[in-house]
Amino acid sequence: MHLPHEVSGRPLPSMAGRTVVVTGASSGIGAATARALAAAGARVVLAVRDVEKGTAVARTFTGTAEVRHLDLEDLSSVRAFAAAWTGDIDILINNAGIMQVPLGRTTDGFERQIGTNHLGHFALTNLLLPRITDRVVTVSSNAHARGRLDLDDLLWERRPYRSDQAYSDSKLANLVFTVELQRRLRASGSNVRAIAVHPGMVRTSLFDHATGPQAALIDVIGRLLLVDPEQGAHTTLFAATADIPGGSFVAPGGIAHLRGSPALASAAPAAYDMVIGRKLWTLSARLTAASRSGPISGSVAATPG
């Protein structure tokens, strides 16, 4: 089923003349989001690791779509993407993510989940921010409520690795980043908004790694609770198009935020902690600037929180 250009039965506003970048748009929620925005008239750029796969998906769209290479596990790729960009971006949608994978390291030595889900998007957002005119939408998860950010060992170099905890931590980092970004945008006088979303329980390839009892449990849950990616994209589309305040958290409005029409929700208290926000921002800026590609520039990374 392909989602028409509407959210929960309400038509999307015309996106004609607007440019939207969607990371991880070659499958799942990202592809559904990009497809709906293109159908509503936007110029949509699919920022993907697998260009061939992204191109195949883009061919199924109605409207204007292009595909560009972006590997969030390699900061040199993030910087190349940003350096090659010309013109404005109305909306950046930080959608790409990985979930509960075995311990591994990105090109820059980061634990893969915090590296992909948070640090890659942190660098991308800061590098593109001078060109963003409307908003930054970052896909988090209700799993953020189980997050416990260890800012002394964010990269899991000393602790015994737990893939589920690392995932929850990365999703909390998405929300802490969004709230802190909004603080800094407001302090700088910018009208750009930062918004986070939880898509609900969505049937995507993020679950493909599961085996054994976990796979069986996901299969049972999936039959009862999981929605398809087109429905899962509703919260992202709402966050990208509705007139809502910066710093908002959008989630399905149904029971336990598992499904339902998009609505404003409250995140876990840690998401709004100013001390955690400043510390995570400072650490993220240091880690991403420490890559061999050089420091972040043209960003709000140095703006006081």
Which of the residues are catalytic?
A: 167
- Residue 235 to residues 10, 117, 219, 240, 267, Cα–Cα distance (Å): 13, 18, 24, 9, 15
d(CA 2, CA 20): 19
CB atoms within 10 A of CB 53: 15
Q: Give me the DSSP letters along 104-115.
A: -B-TTS-BHHHI
**Structural tokens at position 243:** 């007139």
- Find the radius of gyration of the CA atoms of the chain: 18
**Structural tokens at position 165:** 């905890």
**Structural tokens at position 214:** 């976990």
